[in-house]
Structure 1
Amino acid sequence: MDPRLPALSPGARWALAALAGVLNGVAFIFWGPAALLANVPLLWALHGARSRWLTAGLGGLVGFLGGLHIYGILDYGQLLFWGFAGYTGSQMVLYALLHRALWGKLHPAADLALPALIWTLTEWLRTVGPLAMPASYVGCIADVPGLRPWLALAPHTGGLGVSTLVAIAQSVIFHGVFGDRPHRRWAAVGAGLLAAAWATGFAFPPPLGDRPIQVAGVQGGLANGQYTAAYADPLAAADVVRTYATLSEQAYRTTAALVVWPETAVREPMLDRPRTAPGFPRDGDRAVLLAGLLHRADGQAFNRAVAVAPGGRILGHYDKVRTVPKTEDYLTKGPAWRPIDTPAGRLGPIICLESVYPDASRAMVGNGAELLLVMSNDAGFGRSPITRHMTNRAIVRAVETGRWLLRVGQAGITTLIDPRGVRHGQLGLFEPGLLEGEARLRGDQTLWVRWGPWWMGLCGLSLLAIGAATLRRRRRGAAPGAAGPNAA
């Protein structure tokens, strides 16, 4: 690095790591563009850190503080809170230790790529395991208009490839500001690659499709407390049903061919009387209803999406496959992510938490879904900004699968998203009403849908190659080409 940089005291290192943790939390929840800077203070703090324990602690602090921002505003109990925050912290420990072991050992080009490769690995790891709650940089920037051209990479690499671009931007800033001349030259090359990716996405946006369909999302705008009251009070339960029945009847009078309820919008028995169930389409209506229900049968409970044709004919259903740990342990999981065939197209319902992960939407589209529907209950988040990030995840799912996506929230945010990541209309938090719009059905498959996480494989192999070359050089006793983070 630039030899003119002053040596950092331990206090300064911890302060920089804390700043990086705050920036990551701000980016994930409040202001997406902060992601472009988020890990720059950490990279500075790691420079010259002699101790592995110090390195691990700096990384862990970043991940833990970022986790506090994300999970501290959720009310899912202490176990999930500390579990998620600790898991996020462990990923950044890995980030810091790998950076310490590999940076400065080979060529400046490898140093430039290293933070992005390691971040890609840790972001992918956050999609794996029972405590997985992936915090992704692509989710941070998905609603930033100026960075939208980068999203055009997602149909090819998945959203993970866009996160790699954000991490490259961090590395470009760090090496461009704090690097020596060779590192600054490669930072300029990296900046050129980022600009080329932006220009390519701007010039060649993803196709939108050519089979239009009118859709309507029904948002009841109800708080979770109203559902809690409904369990004990039949009048309160009737009010919930009446809310969705009234809004649905309004939707049937529009030109919509598909009407969608949010997750578990109605929790009263409905499927034992589908011809007369309140809110279900009657004979003479034109629209198919995709209803979010809490369905109970044979001593089991299902978080179910049911497709209902006019006259109450059941076309098919989908049961939530990936449930929330602990909170939804009482639910019976569905067998697979499979679309529902309807006159309105092959529908791919994804229920709430499932939209955070890429595998559900990829499987739905891979199995033939022509339109994605995210049915969510975000009322538990209140008016916290985490609903923005959940909505951004839906944007990523639309772009990487090349599908139009209607997101319908019990309390918001309800919006229609096209395959370029543009939102068409919105109902805000706790705002009852209908969102109407024109979507388009598509049957083709993006490269990412066909090939899956190949980008992670490529980045993983690149990281292994850097590690192998570093180990080989160390065994040969060769001096490193540049002063690395272990230097005094």
Structure 2
Amino acid sequence: MRAHLYAAQLRFTRVTYAVRVIVRLALAVAGGLCIWLSFPGPAVWPLAIVGVALLAMATRGSRPRAGFLLGLVGGFACFGPTLHWAGTYVGAVPWLALSITESVYIAVMCALCSLVQSARPWNRLPPWARRMLTPADGPHIRPFAIALLWVLQEAIRDSMPFGGFPWARLAWSQAGSPLSHLASIFGAPGLTFTVALLGGALAVAAERIRTRDVAGWARRCWPAVAAIAVVAVSAGYPTPTNGPKLQVLAIQGDVPTAGLEFNAQRRAVLDDHVRETDKAAAKIRAGLMKQPAVVIWPENSSDIDPTRNPDAATEITQTVNNLGVPLIVGAVLDQPVGHTSNTSLLYEPGKGIVAEYVKQHPVPFAEYMPYRSFFRHFSSKVDLAGNFVAGHKTGLFTIPTTTNGQVKIAPIICFEVAYDSLTRNAVRDGAQILAVQTNNATFGYTAESEQQLAISRITAIEYGRSIVHISTVGVSGLITPDGVVHDKTSLFTAAALDGALPLRTQMTLATEVGAVPEWIGSAAALLLCGVAIVANRSSRRSKAATTPQQKVHELA
């Protein structure tokens, strides 16, 4: 009789286990999809909080190896659609490789979430530590643990391998959110922490509702109250936009052909930008457009090296002299020997090139190919990657103006805007405006352009600087220090953006403290994981005498 009861219990437990696995997988997939939908183009920013909550709920009570698999599935549900632009013209292999690689970081984070959210290991700690740290009792640290792990995950993902890939950070999803103002306090990592903290709090609140813990609801509803308070405070947090105005003109010249083949028509791309600039100059002379203090062209606006090609040099020089103001050009130079460099060149009327900046962070697998011979075994497309070298100095152009004296503008080339240190160093060196020069022609009509514009919006708030975000094909815009986009353009259209942007020299708190909050958050996350691992080992020793029936019950 006991054998039959045990067999029936085992079958019931297996069914229950299968149902729980399906539920956890569904939560993980839904969590990843929610985070994807929080980014442009859908750009439903509250879904980032919901996504974090669903991933926290999926990993709650699971073992770390199960958490890893859940994170891998949830991570791909997020990065797969978010980064689908990576395979627009080069096929599925680069897109899948990038998406899966990024998903591994989420998988490791979710494994650690499973570890720190489990009550069993913490119960082996001394009473004083258990009261402080136990997720199920006492001061509730689960939301903080989840938030710290998100900060740690992004810190690692943003820096390795090959310099990292800080795309699709939680912070970037908040460009249209009232929470975005918090970026000026502790930067993008602090904004990620806030979003993840609210997600963790939402997960805790959902569990309280699910378990119908009505008696303790009033005392335990602090997560909801905290969430409302954070949103209210951040919505009213000041992001100053005052300061003397600098009249700027940015040219989106467009390209003849979308995709990888635009490079084959380099002269046409240069001609397009010259033509659009000449049209703007005619409007200025006619009084239809204000005289700018500086004109900015995007990345790759001259893929013909103007230092070696007389035709390109003449065309750009004539344009500068015709305007009568400095021009910042995104150009590809055939140097050093055997290599190329992605540069930003400053031209002045009557002087030619007076300063240059070489991109410090070329994009791996695009502007250069690490281990080219190895990766050629997987795809012949690797030979489409360039042979660009990295610069080693922060770019800072001094622009002479008649109304504002010497104005300092920092060129930031393409994906560099997503790297905290590169933009922070420029602001600390005295940049009053950031010029984000980019080329989105190789990504077609995808959300990549909007995603990059969102990064620039958060960056503007974080460092309290206006940004000229100019692309060859769009989306471009003039961004004020409060993250608001002005004169936004459409994809694959020629346009001239003109406007007056405030010049600011004051440092935000995020600029002053730099990477310190991220270091502290990452260290706290590692410490928390270390304590959990030690406690978990102690818990394993106590399971040596566990009966088979108890093991079946724990498996469920």
TM-score using structure 1 length: 0.87
Please list, as runs of the form range in 1=range in 2, the aligned pairs for 1:71-90 lying within 5 A after superposition.
71-75=83-87, 76=90, 80-90=94-104
The one-letter amino acid of 2:202's match is I
Please name the residue that 1:483 is paired with.
none
Counting helix residues as a fraction of each chain, which structure ranks higher?
A: 2
State which of 270, 275, 286 in structure 2 corresponds to 1:241.
Answer: 270
Please list, as runs of the form range in 1=range in 2, the aligned pairs for 1:328-343 lying within 5 A after superposition.
328-329=367-368, 330-343=387-400
Provide the secondary structure at the position in 1 that maps to 2:431: coil
The Cα of 1:472 is off from its aligned counterpart by: 6.8
Number of aligned residue pairs: 468
The Cα of 1:265 is off from its aligned counterpart by: 0.7
State which of 15, 20, 24 in structure 1 corresponds to 2:26.
Answer: 15
Please name the residue that 2:187 is paired with.
158
Alignment pair present for 1:310 and 2:349: yes
State which of 98, 109, 115 in structure 2 corresponds to 1:101.
Answer: 115
Instruction: Name which of structure 1's ranges 267-276 and 16-25 shifts more when overlaid on structure 2.
Output: 267-276
The Cα of 1:474 is off from its aligned counterpart by: 6.2
Please list, as runs of the form range in 1=range in 2, the aligned pairs for 1:470-481 lying within 5 A after superposition.
470=532
Q: Which has the larger radius of gyration?
A: 2
Say if 1:402 and 1:178 are closer, same or farther in 2 by CA, change over 3 A. same
Tell me if the contact between 1:112 and 1:186 (Cα under 8 Å) persists in the aligned partners.
Answer: no
Tell me if the contact between 1:159 and 1:400 (Cα under 8 Å) persists in the aligned partners.
Answer: yes
The Cα of 1:63 is off from its aligned counterpart by: 1.0
Distance 2:28 2:217 in 1: 23
Alignment pair present for 1:141 and 2:174: yes
Distance 2:416 2:33 in 1: 27
Say if 1:111 and 1:187 are closer, same or farther in 2 by CA, change over 3 A. farther
Say if 1:279 and 1:243 are closer, same or farther in 2 by CA, change over 3 A. farther
The one-letter amino acid of 1:357's match is Y
Say if 1:42 and 1:282 are closer, same or farther in 2 by CA, change over 3 A. closer
The one-letter amino acid of 2:471's match is G
Please name the residue that 2:434 is paired with.
372
The Cα of 1:172 is off from its aligned counterpart by: 2.1
The Cα of 1:302 is off from its aligned counterpart by: 1.6
Tell me if the contact between 2:143 and 2:199 (Cα under 8 Å) persists in the aligned partners.
Answer: no
Distance 2:241 2:342 in 1: 31
Distance 1:183 1:119 in 2: 29
Please name the residue that 1:482 is paired with.
none
Tell me if the contact between 1:221 and 1:430 (Cα under 8 Å) persists in the aligned partners.
Answer: yes
Identity of aligned residues (%): 22
The Cα of 1:29 is off from its aligned counterpart by: 4.2
Tell me if the contact between 2:205 and 2:224 (Cα under 8 Å) persists in the aligned partners.
Answer: no
The one-letter amino acid of 2:450's match is R
Distance 1:186 1:170 in 2: 20
Distance 1:415 1:194 in 2: 32
Q: Which runs of 5+ in 1 are unaligned?
A: 1-5, 480-485
Distance 2:415 2:319 in 1: 28
The Cα of 1:453 is off from its aligned counterpart by: 1.5
State which of 385, 388, 394 in structure 1 corresponds to 2:447.
Answer: 385
Say if 1:194 and 1:343 are closer, same or farther in 2 by CA, change over 3 A. farther
Q: Deviations over 1:350-398 (max 9, x none)?
A: 1111112212111111222111010000111111112211110111111
Say if 1:38 and 1:282 are closer, same or farther in 2 by CA, change over 3 A. closer
TM-score using structure 2 length: 0.77
Q: Deviations over 1:153-188 (max 9, x none)?
A: 212211111121111221222111213649966873
Alignment pair present for 1:268 and 2:304: yes
Q: Deviations over 1:415-452 (max 9, x none)?
A: 01111111112111011010111112222222222321
The Cα of 1:224 is off from its aligned counterpart by: 5.0
Tell me if the contact between 1:260 and 1:289 (Cα under 8 Å) persists in the aligned partners.
Answer: yes
The one-letter amino acid of 1:333's match is A
Please name the residue that 1:65 is paired with.
77
Please list, as runs of the form range in 1=range in 2, the aligned pairs for 1:273-284 lying within 5 A after superposition.
276-278=314-316, 280-283=318-321
Provide the secondary structure at the position in 2 that maps to 1:38: helix
The Cα of 1:327 is off from its aligned counterpart by: 1.8
Please list, as runs of the form range in 1=range in 2, the aligned pairs for 1:94-243 lying within 5 A after superposition.
94-103=108-117, 104=119, 105=122, 106=134, 107-130=138-161, 132-134=164-166, 135-142=168-175, 144=176, 147-148=177-178, 150-179=179-208, 181=213, 188-222=221-255, 224-225=257-258, 228=261, 231=264, 236-243=265-272
Say if 1:98 and 1:157 are closer, same or farther in 2 by CA, change over 3 A. same
Tell me if the contact between 1:208 and 1:420 (Cα under 8 Å) persists in the aligned partners.
Answer: yes
Distance 1:351 1:165 in 2: 28
Alignment pair present for 1:427 and 2:489: yes
The one-letter amino acid of 1:217's match is A
Q: Deviations over 1:242-272 (max 9, x none)?
A: 2111212233434111111010112224235
Q: Deviations over 1:161-216 (max 9, x none)?
A: 11211112212221112136499668733333333333333333122241210011
Distance 2:241 2:519 in 1: 29
Provide the secondary structure at the position in 1 that maps to 2:507: coil
Distance 1:432 1:173 in 2: 45
Tell me if the contact between 1:275 and 1:312 (Cα under 8 Å) persists in the aligned partners.
Answer: no
Distance 1:183 1:260 in 2: 60
